[in-house]
């Protein structure tokens, strides 16, 4: 799943722990781990919170390439 890989990559590039991201978006660290492993997907609201916190678009987070 592109989302999980992109989330982990962007989080690491910005030097943000799973715990900090979880706190900022209102979920548990375990939930962030599940997102990164592709075991679950965030709601639309949560996806928007993640993108805003990481300073990227939801398209970038989801791996959509815009021409």
Furthest-apart CA atoms within the chain: distance in Å:
35
Quote the tokens at residue 51: 């993108």
What is the value of pTM for the model shown?
0.90
Quote the tokens at residue 39: 């075991």
pLDDT at 64 (0 to 100)? 86
Q: Which residue has the tokens 């996806």?
A: 47
Question: What does each of the 67 residues of the chain score in pLDDT, given as a tens digit?
Answer: 699 999 999 999 999 999 999 999 999 999 999 999 999 999 999 999 999 999 999 999 998 865 5
pLDDT at 66 (0 to 100)? 59
Asked if 2 and 62 touch (Cβ cutoff 8 Å), the reply is yes
pLDDT at 50 (0 to 100)? 98
pLDDT at 45 (0 to 100)? 97
Asked if 3 and 35 touch (Cβ cutoff 8 Å), the reply is yes
């Amino acid at each position: 799943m592109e989302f999980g890989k992109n989330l982990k990559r962007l989080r690491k590039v910005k030097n943000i722990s799973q715990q900090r991201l979880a706190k900022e978006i209102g979920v548990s660290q375990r939930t962030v781990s599940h997102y990164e492993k592709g075991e679950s997907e965030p709601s639309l609201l949560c996806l928007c919170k993640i993108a805003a916190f990481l300073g990227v678009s939801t398209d970038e987070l989801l791996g959509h390439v815009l021409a």
